[in-house]
Amino acid sequence: MAREFILNKELVLGENALVEAGSKIKALGNKALIVTDKMMVQLGNVKKLTAVLDNINVVYEIFDGINGEPTDNMIAKGVEVYQNAECDFLISIGGGSPIDAMKAIGLMADYNGKITDFNGKIIEIKMPNMIAIPTTSGTGSETTQFTIITDEKSQVKMLLKGKVLMPTLAIVDPSFSITAPKSVTAATGLDALCHAIEAYTSRRSQYLSDTFALSAIKKIFDNIEVAYNDPTNVVARTQMAIASLEAGVAFNNASVTLIHGMSRPIGALFHVPHGISNAMLMNVCLTYALEGAMDKFANIAKTIGINSSSNEAAAKAFLDKLTELLANLKIPTLENYGINKDTFFNNIDKMATDAMASGSPSNTIKEITKEDIIDLYKNLWL
């Protein structure tokens, strides 16, 4: 069966990408809302962006209120600034949080209802132009048709979806990621690894998504520890930025599966950063998923240089290598992170319901039920 494959309209990747992209930015609007967080202001990244905008005579308003993973209330504040300043397009600079927030602000800019109205639907409304400049490697949000917004009332991390959420232009300059602290490098790099592995082993994988996914997996295994241990290593940072983009392209066209499905409820209820909650789940979820996709996991193993006598041995060797990587990157357990076991167990039923409702777990090749998910959440404490 033929399948559609979605990419950004335009993309500029490499050293000095922001300056190089000047004329493309100018073509997308007259007054920009810059969506960001206070850290980006402090690091001088927003200054680098406004210097480019000043140079090309594009005016702007800055909204630096995305301090944490985005919620419906943060989005409402951003929409107010966008409307009051009479902006006509958006630019986000930062990690996945400001990029996702930009998408949601753009979505709500001209819509009178609530953001929850879009949950569970394919979004098709007209959106302003959007430019994404990622500083983490990463969520891949610069190249995806998704935005993840927490509804504070129901404590659900909503997965909002639609081609209109794709940033019109992605500007990826790996040098922005050099200042990322170790914990952010580990969390975001492992998020990208989850995107690639889940896309490759998804029921919805396709030829081209497989190509992007395997390429990302190899780059991440080759470079994540270098970037973590030697943060200013430009070669490793560049490879991670490319890998994150490739992984984004892969899951944008093949979806994520079990890890992301189970991770969002942990993030919504216990405020564990997205990449960390994914990483906490990797072993338990992939051990479950292995049975349905032994050949695919064996291919992943081969891609990262593991040679084994059988698919099963290769797939298991891959999981061992992953366990070693998670330990080297100091990924905590739920308990070490400070989560109370009783509170977690009291919420397992809600988390399993919310995970299934997101649709992601059922993209796993091996059949999965709510009861399986409950067991997997419990296994995180073994």
Ligand X SMILES: NC(=O)c1ccc[n+]([C@@H]2O[C@H](COP(=O)([O-])OP(=O)(O)OC[C@H]3O[C@@H](n4cnc5c(N)ncnc54)[C@H](O)[C@@H]3O)[C@@H](O)[C@H]2O)c1
Residue 359's SS3 state is coil
Chain residue at closest Cβ approach to ligand X: 95
In order of 124, 143, 145, 244, the CA distances from 160 in angstroms are 11, 14, 8, 20
Secondary element (H or E) of residue 171: strand 169-172
Task: Output 38 or 378, the one with its CB closest to ligand X.
Answer: 38
Task: Output 25 or 180, the one with its CB closest to ligand X.
Answer: 180
How many residues make contact with ligand X (CB under 6 A)?
29
Rounded to 5°, angle at Cα 246 from 240 and 250: 140
Contacts of 144 (CB under 8 A, 6+ apart): 165, 166, 248, 251, 252
**Minimum distance, C-beta of residue 48 to ligand X, in the bound complex (Å):** 12
Q: Which does 275 bind (CB under 5 to 8 A by kind): ligand X, Fe ion, none?
A: ligand X
**Minimum distance, C-beta of residue 195 to Fe ion, in the bound complex (Å):** 6
- Residue numbers 71-130 binding ligand X by CB under 6 A: 94-97, 100
Check binding of 191 to ligand X (CB under 6 A): yes
Pairing of strands 59-63, 169-172: unpaired
**Minimum distance, C-beta of residue 192 to Fe ion, in the bound complex (Å):** 8
Give CA–CA dist 125/108, Å, rounded: 10
Rounded to 5°, angle at Cα 327 from 159 and 348: 40
Site string for Fe ion, 187-206 (x = CB under 5 A): ----x---------------
Rounded to 5°, angle at Cα 376 from 343 and 374: 60
Region from 137-145, 218-226, 354-362, 374-382 binding ligand X, contact rule CB under 6 A = 137-145
Check binding of 69 to Fe ion (CB under 5 A): no
Contacts to ligand X by CB under 6 A: 37, 39, 43, 69, 94-97, 100, 135-136, 138-141, 144, 146-148, 176-177, 179-180, 184, 187-188, 191, 274-275
